[in-house]
């Protein structure tokens, strides 16, 4: 059974979260077969919400329960651009009169799925539009990725009213970090908090890449089962990948309860088809936000994605300008400096800053220059010799040296990451940059002594335990070298070679 499978935390990736067989009960789900829109499955709570028994709904075409306008609205939506039609105002005829819902309609796996949610009528649409426009304007003023994320967090909080908004960013290995936050004072901060990839398992990330907004209005809900949970076209369970009411993994519910979060929403940030991050919203009490507001948040996430793309490009351009400046400085320094080692030492700070490195070394055959945090000269010589054997002539790059080079185990905290560039094809001289272990540079903001009630699935489902798991995972690992950084290191090497050649020519002509 699914729950037992989910309960084994080593199998997180295998929980089939897209076919839970149930929904969250703040709305009603009706699965319809085309072309006559005959209901084939309905959530059990339809009885409590609409006073209609599931059997009665399953017995007739849906139009029997809708106003004439709603029935034609539904037909029009299905023959046109479905996604653009949502939300549909659906009028349901019940024994106690007409009830209007936000109808959210999609087609998937040979079925039409209609989900009915409460409507929000508190704000006028022009007011709302103004508010969203203001958010987008502010976002467009951001001048860095972090600033854009800060603004997005603030604007999403303003529009939704959640207690705490976090922007998570995924790393290349799918672990993640909270990089921006906006919150009320009484809820703890999770800013800078890191978590392991397994906290948001692979199948969840895949789902969040295609279905980008989800809401859990009340963590304490009782799931409402689909009757029956069977897709008559495929013979399998009903696939809720694109549903807005899909029941949430019980494992994740426990995680939220352990965090004292009782209402949540999250919006994916998808950049070039890859999940870049998430806007995650928490509330200490249950909270529902209407579909229109979720759409606005989706729009904000979209604008944020564009801003991130533009600003990341700009950051790379800015970096290459800095590379150029460092090169010029290097050239200048060498004008009145006889030795390569001396010249490099003079621009040590730039060489480190440019590569976000903590140490640098130039390891020649019988001469080593180093500055910042590096292994000892003896260790450096051994390391250079080893790199020259393992990777002769090429760029050597790792974010976890000790995993491939045993000797580094004793100093892996300060030099988990190494970037090595040989001076030339026939040269054993190496330019080496070092980065520290990433866990060393991060501190945990939460209170480890705060008592927490441990749920049926144990301690692992707590932010503190999950932070510890992340620390274990990244032991001996640095922040990886990015391609534009490696390119910059190669450019610095090329310049160093030019300088050496220039000096050689000068010497030659002086000797002639
Ligand atoms: C989903 N886990 C998630 C989501 C987040 C996290 C953000 C997306 C759903 C949402 O928006 O709430 C993780 N949330 C965090 C973390 C923090 C946070 C780390 O606020 C820290 C501040 N989760 C686990 C383990 C498993 C697991 C060990 O920690 C594996 C069994 C599973 N997480 C899990 C699953 C989902 C999930 C299955 C998908 C939930 C769903 O959509 O049904």
For residue range 322-375, what is the model confidence (pLDDT) as tens digits? 888 888 887 777 766 667 777 788 888 888 988 999 999 999 878 899 999 999
For residue 190, which atom of ligand 1 is closest to its CA? 22
How many helical (H) and strand (E) elements, i.e. helices and strands, does the chain have? Answer: 16, 18
ipTM of this complex? 0.96
C-alpha 84: how far from chain center: 26
- Residues 360, 373: Cα–Cα separation, whole Å: 8
Q: How far, in Å, from the CA of 287 to the mean position of ligand 1?
A: 18
pLDDT at 453: 63
Model pLDDT, residue 337:
65
The ligand 1 atom nearest the CA atom of 469:
28
Give the per-residue pLDDT at 400.
93
* CA 129 – CA 135 distance, rounded (Å): 10
207 Cα nearest atom in ligand 1: 42
Ligand 1 centre from 490 Cα, in Å? 40
Nearest Cα to Cα of residue 194 among 382, 370, 439, 360: 439
Which residues touch 20 (CB under 8 Å, ≥6 apart)? Answer: 2, 223, 240, 246, 247, 248, 249
Q: From atom 23 of ligand 1, which residue's Cα is the shortest distance away?
A: 199
Residue nearest to atom 5 of ligand 1 (CA): 200
* This prediction's pTM: 0.87
Q: What are phi and psi of 354, to 5 degrees?
A: -60, -35
What long-range pairs does 181-189 form, CB within 8 A, spacing at least 24? Answer: 181/153, 182/150, 182/153, 182/154, 182/156, 182/157, 183/157, 186/284, 187/163, 187/282, 187/284, 188/445, 188/446, 188/447, 189/445
| Tokens 């335990």 sit on residue | 465
Task: Determine the pLDDT at residue 311.
Answer: 94
Distance between Cα 168 and ligand 1 center (Å): 12
Assess contact for 180 and 208: CB atoms under 8 A.
Answer: no
DSSP 20: -
Tell me, what's the pLDDT at 275?
Answer: 97
CA–CA distance, 372 with 368 (Å, rounded to integer): 13
| Ligand 1 atom closest to residue 266's alpha carbon, by position in its atom list | 11
Pocket test residue of 8, 22, 204 for ligand 1, highest count of atoms within 8 A of CB: 204
Residue nearest to ligand 1 atom 9, measured at CA: 266
Residue segments in the chain with a per-residue pLDDT below the cut of 70: 1-10, 335-338, 443-454, 458-459
The torsion angles phi and psi of 467, rounded to 5 degrees, stand at -65, -40
pLDDT attached to residue 402: 93
Residue 171: count of CB within 10 angstroms of its CB? 14
**Which residues have CB under 6 Å of ligand 1?**
9, 12, 15, 17, 190, 193, 195, 198-201, 204, 248-249, 251-252, 255, 264, 266, 278, 280, 460-461, 463, 466
């Amino acid at each position: 059974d699914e729950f037992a499978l989910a309960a084994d935390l080593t199998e997180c990736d295998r929980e089939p979260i897209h076919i839970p067989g149930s929904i969250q009960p703040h709305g009603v789900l009706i699965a319809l077969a085309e072309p006559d829109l005959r209901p084939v499955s309905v959530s059990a709570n339809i009885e409590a919400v609409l006073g209609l028994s599931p059997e009665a709904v399953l017995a007739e075409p849906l139009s029997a329960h809708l106003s004439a306008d709603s029935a034609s609205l539904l037909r029009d939506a299905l023959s046109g651009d479905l996604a653009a039609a949502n939300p549909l105002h659906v009028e349901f005829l019940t024994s106690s009169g007409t009830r209007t819902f936000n109808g959210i309609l999609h087609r998937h796996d040979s079925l039409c799925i209609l989900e009915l949610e409460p409507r929000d009528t508190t704000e006028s649409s022009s007011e709302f539009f103004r508010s969203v426009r203001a958010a987008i304007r502010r976002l467009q003023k951001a001048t860095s990725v972090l600033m854009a994320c800060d603004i997005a967090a603030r604007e999403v909080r303003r529009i939704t009213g959640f207690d705490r908004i976090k922007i998570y960013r995924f790393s290349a290995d799918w672990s993640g970090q909270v990089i921006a936050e906006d919150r009320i004072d009484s809820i703890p901060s999770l800013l800078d908090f890191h978590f392991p990839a397994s906290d948001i398992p692979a199948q969840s990330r895949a789902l969040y890449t295609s279905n980008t907004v989800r809401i859990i209005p009340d963590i304490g809900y009782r799931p409402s089962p689909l009757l029956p949970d069977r897709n008559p076209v495929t013979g399998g369970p009903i696939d809720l990948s694109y549903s807005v009411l899909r029941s949430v993994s019980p494992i994740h519910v426990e995680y939220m309860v352990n965090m004292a979060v009782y209402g949540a929403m999250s919006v994916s940030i998808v950049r070039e088809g890859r999940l870049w991050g998430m806007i995650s919203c928490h509330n200490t009490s249950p909270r529902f936000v209407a579909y229109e507001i979720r759409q606005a948040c989706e729009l904000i996430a979209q604008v944020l994605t564009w801003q991130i793309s533009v600003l990341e490009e700009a950051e790379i351009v800015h970096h290459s300008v800095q590379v150029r400046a460092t090169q010029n400085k290097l050239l200048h320094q060498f004008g009145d400096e006889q030795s390569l080692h001396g010249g490099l030492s003079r621009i040590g700070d730039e060489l480190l800053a440019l590569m976000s490195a903590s140490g640098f070394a130039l390891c020649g055959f019988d001469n080593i220059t180093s500055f910042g945090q590096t292994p000892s000269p003896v260790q450096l010589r051994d390391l250079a010799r080893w790199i020259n054997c393992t990777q002769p002539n090429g760029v050597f790059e790792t974010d976890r040296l000790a995993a491939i080079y045993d000797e580094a185990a004793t100093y892996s905290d300060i030099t988990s990451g190494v970037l090595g560039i040989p001076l030339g094809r026939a040269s054993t001289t190496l330019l080496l940059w070092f980065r520290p272990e990433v866990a060393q540079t991060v501190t945990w903001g939460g209170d480890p002594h705060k008592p927490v009630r441990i749920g049926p699935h144990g301690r692992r489902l707590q932010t503190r335990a999950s932070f510890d798991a992340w620390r274990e995972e990244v032991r001996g690992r640095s922040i990886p070298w990015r391609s534009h950084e490696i390119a910059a290191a190669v450019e610095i090497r090329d310049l160093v070679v030019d300088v050496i050649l220039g000096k050689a020519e000068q010497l030659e002509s002086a000797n002639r």
